[in-house]
Amino acid sequence: MQEIAQNWLVFEITKSPFILGLDAFLGDIPIFLFSLVGGVIADRMDRRKLLLISQVIQMMSALTLAFLIGTQRIQIWHILLSSFVVGTAQSFGGPAYSALVPSLVEKVDLPNAIALNSIQFNLARVIGPVLGGLALRYAGAAWCFGLNSLSFVAVMISLLSLRINFKPPHTGESILTGMKQGIGFIRKQGAMETLILIAFCMTALAIPMITFLPVFAKDVFHKNEMTYTLFLVASGLGSITGALTVATLGNIHNKGRVALSMLVGLGIGISGFSMSRSLAASCLLLYMSGAFMICAFAMISSLVQLITPNDMRGRVMSVYNVAFRGGMPFGSVTTGWLVPIFTAPTVLSVNGLVLLSLGAYFLFIQRRVAAL
């Protein structure tokens, strides 16, 4: 709900694709800057406690924006600062969350757990935009931020109810040493570096399609926020389909080949959506792109998790999160800079073609990941 309200509000206030991209950049750049430190901390303290602190900060940020909007004191710098604060909280909570999931299930069930986790996330992407679009249109943006702040209460109650076996080891090593150990482990694992590169490129080139949906709704199709909501729902439904597909397949062989095939399909879907001028065709292509994106993400995440031992999981997943989430700010701000020059359809078409080429290269030429 907050995502749809925030993106629409930023574009409504500024009328600037660059500021829209900058807001996404500020929300994601802390992941790039601080996740490595967050990963070391996730291996050294109670991961649940770290997640609870992260949730409280995000809840307070949403409440603050709801108050500022409700009292008509909101300015664009408030939103930009809030994005950075929330991103910083997520940079410490993210590695802890990623490291927590494998400690709750057996190793053989890990791909299913990751896929099912994707379902709950993407179910929120379907329900949230519908509720957010209605709340934004009929109640105002303040309600979107206020209701989002309430959602964190349910998350915190769930975290408090978990029974977790992981006990952080006592160590006198510095945080820098811990970071070096995580990076050193990755460099020794043959395909791990390639998986992390693919994760970075996938988010840098694919996520701007979601970020700039307001531009397509308003400037390309000349519609209102309900069309933007429709686009988000189509993408979210596709993501749920992709996650259910991965969960149904279970612990299949050739995960690398499947992930790269999905990456090729994602590139085709993004380019097709960018060139479409039919609302129905655009929604279908967003649905397909959402399915391909989550399939690729779940398979790549499963491969990284399966390769990593539990005592290194926080540090390794922090590097993975830096790549996966770090691609978002650079992709968003670069796309925001290029869109006014070349138009949104042109820039996103190129993004899709690059993704298609990247997937084909690792699928047919450099086959280290395809062999997994």
pLDDT in tens, 186-212: 877 778 888 999 999 998 999 899 889
Kindly state the average pLDDT of the residues 54-83: 94
Would you place residue 126 in the very low, low, confident or very high pLDDT band (cuts 50, 70, 90)?
A: low
Which residue type, as a one-letter code, is found at position 26? Answer: L
Answer whether 149's CB lies under 8 Å from 63's CB: yes
pLDDT higher at 22 or 307: 22
What was the pLDDT predicted at 343? 93
Of 73, 76, 84, 78, give the one whose Cα is nearest residue 28.
84
* Tens-place pLDDT, residues 205-236: 998 998 899 899 989 999 987 898 889 888 88
Answer whether 47's CB lies under 8 Å from 96's CB: yes
Q: Inform me whether the pLDDT recorded for 158 exceeds 70.
A: yes
252 CB neighbour count, 10 Å cutoff: 12
What was the pLDDT predicted at 69? 92
333 CB neighbour count, 10 Å cutoff: 22
Lowest mean pLDDT among 42-46, 117-121, 153-157: 117-121
Of 204, 205, 224, give the one whose Cα is nearest residue 214.
224
* Tens-place pLDDT, residues 232-248: 888 888 888 887 888 78
What was the pLDDT predicted at 353? 97
Specify the residue for token string 């604060």. Answer: 85
268 CB neighbour count, 10 Å cutoff: 18
What was the pLDDT predicted at 75? 93
Model pTM score: 0.74
Percentage of the chain lying above the pLDDT 70 cut = 92
What was the pLDDT predicted at 314? 74
What is the DSSP annotation of 60-108?
Answer: HHHHHHHHHHHTT---HHHHHHHHHHHHHHHHHHHHHHHHHGGGGS-GG
What was the pLDDT predicted at 129? 66
Average pLDDT over the chain reads: 85
The domains located in the chain, with CATH, are: 2-162+176-364 (1.20.1250.20)
| Sequence-ordered alpha helix ranges (H) in 189-307 | 192-211, 213-215, 225-249, 255-275, 279-307
Would you place residue 320 in the very low, low, confident or very high pLDDT band (cuts 50, 70, 90)?
A: confident
Would you place residue 182 in the very low, low, confident or very high pLDDT band (cuts 50, 70, 90)?
A: confident
